[in-house]
C-alpha cells in the first residue's frame, strides 16, 4: 500500500474504530475476569476487618465490632508504633542500599565483553533466589553466627569473634545483606531485559563519534533504564509497609522484638496467632490505603520529572 492511500485510512471510519475497540476490549477480558474472580470477589471478604470473624459462623453471621480491629492503630499502641517504625526504617535502608544493587550488577555485566562469561555470571548470580528463607537464614548462621564457620576460625586462631547474628545493632544491615544476597541477581534479570532493548545502533553511532564508554553509559544506557527503574521504585514504595515476613519472624528471637518486630509480624503475633482474622484484614486495608497514597504521590513526582511512572497522565 502506498503512503498516500493510507493517509486516508488514518481518519478511519467509525465501524473500523469500533472493531478496533472491540478487539482491545476482548484482549482485556480474560485478565479482567481473573482479577474480578480471584482478587476483587474475595476482597469483599475483607469486610471482616469490621467484624469479630469466627470461621465456623461465616463472614456474614460473625458479629460486627465497628473499629475494634483497628484499635492498636487508633490508640497508638507502643508495640504497634515500634513495629511501624521498624518497618519504615527497614524499607528505607533497603530502598537506598539494596535496590540499586541489581541495577549496578546489570550495568557491570553489560560491560563485560565476553558473551559466554556474561551468561555464566548471570546464571550463577540468580541462584540464591531459589532458596527459601529458612535455608538462607540457616546459611548465614552457618557462616556468620556466633558458632559459625568464620567465628570458629577466628576463635581457633586466638582472635575475638565478631558479633553479627543476634546483634540488634547490626540487624538491619544483616537483613539488607540477606535480601541483597538472595534477590539481587534475580532482580538484575529485569534490568538486563531493559538493557537489551536499547538500540545497538546508538552505541555504534556514539563509538563512531568517539564517545568514551563512560559517556555512552551516561547518555545511552542510563536513560534507557530510567523508565523501568522509576516504575519499580514506585511499586516498591506502594509495598513499603510490607517487609519480608518470613525472613523477620525466623530471626526475631535472636535480636528481640524491639529491633525485629515489623507490621506483618505484629499482625501475626498479635492477631492471627489467636485466630483474630479481623485484625489482619484491618491492617491489610490500612496498608492498601497507604500504598495507594504513596503510589499516587510518587507517580505525581515522576510526572514532574517527565517520567511515565506507573501510568501516564
Residue with smaller CB distance to other proteins, 96 or 168: 168
In this chain, which of 15, 30, 76, 306 binds other proteins, going by CB under 8 A? 30
Question: What number of chain residues touch other proteins (CB under 8 A)?
Answer: 138
Given candidates 65, 82, 126, 301, which one binds other proteins under the rule CB under 8 A? 126
- Rounded CA-CA distance 147/156 in Å is 11
Q: Is 31 in the site for other proteins (CB under 8 A)?
A: yes
Q: Is the dihedral of CA 171, 173, 175, 177 positive or negative?
A: negative
Task: Check if the beta carbon of residue 288 is closer than 8 Å to that of residue 298.
Answer: no
CA 83, chain centre distance (Å): 19
**Paired strand residues for 64:** 51
Answer for the pair 236, 95: CB distance below 8 angstroms, yes or no.
yes
Nearest of 224, 156, 295 to residue 148 by alpha carbon:
156
Interface of this chain with other proteins, residues 65 to 124, rule: CB under 8 A: 79, 105, 108-112, 115, 119, 121-124
- Binding part of the chain for other proteins, among 49-57, 63-71, 84-92 by CB under 8 A, reads 49-57
Read off the C-alpha cell for 309: 511512572
Q: Does 24 bind other proteins (CB under 8 A)?
A: yes
Interface with other proteins in residues 157-216 (CB under 8 A): 158, 161, 165-166, 168, 181, 183, 185-187, 189-190, 192-201, 213
Q: Which stretch binds other proteins (CB under 8 A): 63-71, 83-91, 92-100, 136-144?
A: 136-144
The angle that helices 133-144 and 245-255 make with each other, rounded to 10 degrees, is 40
> CA–CA distance from 306 to each of 101, 230, 255 (Å)?
24, 11, 44
Q: b vs e for 97-114, b when ≥16 Cβ sit within 10 Å of the residue's Cβ?
A: ebbebbbebbbebbeeee
For residue 50, the minimal CB distance to other proteins (Å) is 13
Smallest gap, in angstroms, from Cβ of residue 89 to other proteins? Answer: 18
> φ and ψ at 51, to 5 degrees?
-130, 160
**Sites for other proteins among residues 255-294 (CB under 8 A):** 256-258, 264, 267-277, 280-281, 284-285, 287-288, 291-292
Shortest distance, position 92 Cβ to other proteins, whole Å: 19
Residues from 216 through 245 that contact other proteins (CB under 8 A): 227-228, 231, 235, 238-239, 245
What is the smallest separation between the CB atom of 255 and other proteins, expressed in angstroms?
8
Residue whose CB is less far from other proteins, 66 or 274: 274
Which of 69, 87, 91, 141 contacts other proteins by CB under 8 A? Answer: 141
Q: If you search the block for the grid coordinates 540464591, which residue do you land on?
A: 128
Amino acid at each position: 500500500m502506498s503512503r498516500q492511500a493510507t493517509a486516508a485510512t488514518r481518519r478511519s471510519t467509525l465501524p473500523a474504530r469500533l472493531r478496533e475497540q472491540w478487539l482491545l476490549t476482548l484482549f482485556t477480558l480474560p485478565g479482567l475476569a481473573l482479577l474480578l474472580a480471584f482478587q476483587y470477589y474475595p476482597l469483599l471478604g475483607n469486610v471482616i476487618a469490621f467484624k469479630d470473624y469466627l470461621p465456623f459462623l461465616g463472614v456474614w453471621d460473625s458479629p460486627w465490632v465497628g473499629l475494634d480491629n483497628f484499635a492498636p492503630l487508633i490508640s497508638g499502641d507502643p508495640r504497634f508504633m515500634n513495629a511501624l517504625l521498624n518497618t519504615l526504617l527497614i524499607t528505607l535502608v533497603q530502598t537506598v542500599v539494596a535496590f540499586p544493587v541489581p541495577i549496578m550488577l546489570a550495568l557491570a555485566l553489560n560491560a563485560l565483553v565476553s558473551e559466554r562469561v556474561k551468561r555464566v555470571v548471570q546464571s550463577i548470580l540468580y541462584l540464591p533466589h531459589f532458596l527459601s528463607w529458612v535455608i538462607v537464614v540457616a546459611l548465614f548462621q552457618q557462616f556468620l553466627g556466633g558458632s559459625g564457620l568464620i567465628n570458629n576460625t577466628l576463635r581457633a586462631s586466638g582472635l575475638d569473634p565478631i558479633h553479627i547474628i543476634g546483634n540488634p545493632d547490626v540487624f538491619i544491615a544483616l537483613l539488607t545483606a540477606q535480601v541483597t544476597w538472595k534477590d539481587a541477581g534475580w532482580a538484575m534479570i529485569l534490568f538486563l531485559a531493559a538493557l537489551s532493548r536499547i538500540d545497538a545502533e546508538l552505541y555504534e553511532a556514539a563509538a563512531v563519534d568517539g564517545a568514551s564508554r563512560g559517556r555512552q553509559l551516561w547518555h545511552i544506557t542510563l536513560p534507557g533504564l530510567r523508565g523501568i527503574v522509576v516504575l519499580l521504585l514506585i511499586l516498591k514504595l506502594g509495598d513499603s509497609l510490607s517487609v519480608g515476613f518470613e525472613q523477620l519472624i525466623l530471626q526475631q528471637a535472636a535480636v528481640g522484638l524491639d529491633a525485629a518486630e515489623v507490621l506483618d509480624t505484629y499482625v501475626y503475633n498479635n492477631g492471627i496467632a489467636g485466630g483474630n482474622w479481623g485484625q489482619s484484614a484491618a491492617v491489610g486495608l490500612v496498608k492498601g490505603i497507604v500504598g495507594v497514597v504513596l503510589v499516587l504521590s510518587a507517580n505525581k513526582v515522576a510526572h514532574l520529572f517527565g517520567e511515565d511512572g506507573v501510568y501516564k497522565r
